[in-house]
Amino acid sequence: MASTEHSTAATSEMDEEKEAPPPQDLTLGWVRDALIRQEDSIVFALIERARFPYNAPAYDPCLLPQQGGRSLVEAFARGAEVLQAKFGRYQNPEEVSFFPDDLPAPSGIPYNFPEVFHPASASVTANNAIWNMYFNDLLPLFTVEGDDGNYTSTAAADLVCLQALSRRIHYGKYVAEVKFRDAPQDYMTAICAKDRDALMKLLTFEAVEEMVKRRVLKKAMVFGQTVTLEDKTFDDETKYKVDPAVVARLYDEWVIPLTKDIEVEYLLRRLD
C-alpha cells in the first residue's frame, strides 16, 4: 500500500514536470523543448496511421448517406470534438478545434491555464489549411494503396495525426509571443507597418529549421525500425514504418511554413 502511494506521488510529480502547460514567463528555450517533444508524438502518430492502407471509402461522402454529405472521417472528427469540448479540451490554449461552430460549453473540471497569449491574437488558426494539407498532400505519401475495411480505426488514427500536427503548428503562437517579448521594439515597427515580409524575416532562424528537419528525419529512422533481439545493421535496405524522407518533407513543406504563418498572423494582431 505504502509503496503504491509512493509510486503514485512520484509519477504525478514527473508528469507535472513533463506535461506542465507553458509558464507565463516562458522562454524560447522552453517553447523549443516543447516542440522537440511534440516531434515524437507526430512521428508515432504517423506510424500508427501507416498500419492501415489508404482506405479511400473513409473519405468518401457517399459511404454514410445519413451523415448528410460528410465523410466518415469528418463525421468522426466532429463527433470526437463535441465530446472532447464537453470535457474541456478547448479550454486548453494549446488545443485548437477543427470544427469550432456548435461545440458545447465545457462542463469538465476547470483547470487554471496560464494566460500567455495576447487576447486579440489568441484565436488565430490554421486548421483549415492543416486539414486540407493532411488529406490532399500528406496522407497519400505515407500510406500504401488498398482497402482493409477498417474505416473507423483509420479515422481515429487520422484524428490523432491531425491533432498532433495542429498542436505543433499552433505552438507558433507561443513562439511569436516570446519573440515579441524578447525584442518588442523590432517587432512593433514591423507590426505597425503591417509588414509581413519584415516579420517573417525577424522570426526566421534558418539554422534552427535545418536542425529540426535533420532531427525529425533521424527520429523517423529510429522510431520506425522493427526492433529485434538479433544484431543487425541498418542500411539502405532497412524498411521503416514511415518513410523518413516523407517526415522530413512534411516539416520542410508544411509544418515549419504553417508554424511561421501562425507566428506572423499572431504578431499582426499583437498590438490590437
Ligand X SMILES: C=C(O[C@@H]1C=C(C(=O)O)C=C[C@H]1O)C(=O)O
Residues at the site binding ligand X, with contacts judged by CB under 6 A: 32, 175, 203-205, 208-209, 212, 256, 259-260
Closest distance between ligand X and the C-beta of residue 125, in Å?
16
Quick one: cell of 143? 500510406
Q: Which is nearer to ligand X, 82 or 198 (CB)?
A: 198
Nearest residue to ligand X, by Cβ distance, number only: 259
Start-end of H helices in 105-205? 127-132, 139-142, 151-170, 172-182, 184-192, 196-203
Q: Report the alpha-carbon distance of residue 135 to residue 127 in Å, rounded.
A: 12
Closest distance between ligand X and the C-beta of residue 204, in Å?
4
Residues in the chain: 272
Q: Report the alpha-carbon distance of residue 197 to residue 211 in Å, rounded.
A: 23
Q: Which is nearer to ligand X, 59 or 266 (CB)?
A: 266
Q: Which is nearer to ligand X, 85 or 258 (CB)?
A: 258
Q: Which is nearer to ligand X, 51 or 201 (CB)?
A: 201
Q: Alpha-carbon dihedral of residues 247, 84, 157, 48, nearest 10 degrees?
A: 70
Q: Do residues 254 and 133 touch, judged by C-beta distance below 8 A?
A: yes
Q: Which is nearer to ligand X, 12 or 204 (CB)?
A: 204
Closest distance between ligand X and the C-beta of residue 247, in Å?
13
Quick one: cell of 111? 483547470
Closest distance between ligand X and the C-beta of residue 27, in Å?
11
Closest distance between ligand X and the C-beta of residue 89, in Å?
23
